[in-house]
Amino acid sequence: EVQLVETGGGLIQPGGSLRLSCIASGFSVSTNYMTWVRQAPGQGLEWLSVIFSGGSTYYADSVKGRFTISRDDSKNRVSLQMNSLRGEDTAVYYCARDSGAGIKDWGQGTLVTVSS
Amino acid sequence: DIVMTQSPDSLAVSLGERATINCKSSQSILNSSNKKNSLAWYQQKPGQPPKLLIYWAFTRESGVPDRFSGSGSGTDFTLTISSLQAEDVAVYYCQQYYRTPITFGQGTRLEIK
């Protein structure tokens, strides 16, 4: 059974940093497209970043230069390093497996609140 | 970036009636290599992550009831629920995966009339 479990969310002050982790089971992150999507309170879905099986990474303009996606194949884990956090980064962050034809598997999400 | 625009923003339909949600992309999302449109539909219920319903514009994901169907091509797409059930109350999103950045529509809230 495919499972994705995100950890690392919490309350952080503006300008701070946070690292989200996503542990995958039931498949290998190394051979899949792994992505992060967020959803601000009461708002829609925003795609943030993807790491392809070959290791290439892409980012939304809203987080480019501040967020970094990475992968640890030995731990079957994907991470999102978030720096220079702003109030508008407050959201539920989802880790997901992108099939290349839609996002088929999603974690339950972890809430990040950026506030002083 | 490819902008995805859904209409309407909200919709109220009687149980057993048809619900139709539209999605328009700012440019063609027709994949020239496989001649398929890179368009997916998701359903999201409160407190849950989104669930993939449809991909390649009309291919139903495994386990999705056949009352859900997708259609359209090029820049205009539609999600149809043929006979609305109570459990279909949710927010629905379209998404293009033609190119990065992947983009979603703003969502359509579907309620029971």
Best of A37, A103, A111 to disrupt the B interface (most B CBs within 10 Å) is A103
Q: What percent of chain A has pLDDT over 70?
A: 100
B101·A106 Cβ contact <8 A: no
Q: Which of A45, A96, A109 sits opposite B104 (nearest CB)?
A: A45
**Nearest CB to B55: which of A44, A96, A102?**
A102
Q: How many residues does chain B have?
A: 113
Contact residues, chain B, for A44 at CB < 8 Å? 93, 104-107
Distance from CA of B57 to the nearest CA of A (A): 10
CA dist A113 and B101 (Å) reads 24
Cis, peptide link before residue A14, omega less than 30° from 0:
no
pLDDT in tens, chain B (113 residues): 999 999 999 999 999 999 999 999 999 999 999 999 999 999 999 999 999 999 999 999 999 999 999 999 999 999 999 999 999 999 999 999 999 999 999 999 999 99
Buried b (16+ CB within 10 A) or exposed e, A6-20: bebbeebeeeeebeb
B42 CB contacts (<8 Å, ≥6 apart)?
A45, A103, B50, B51, B52, B53, B92, B93, B94, B95
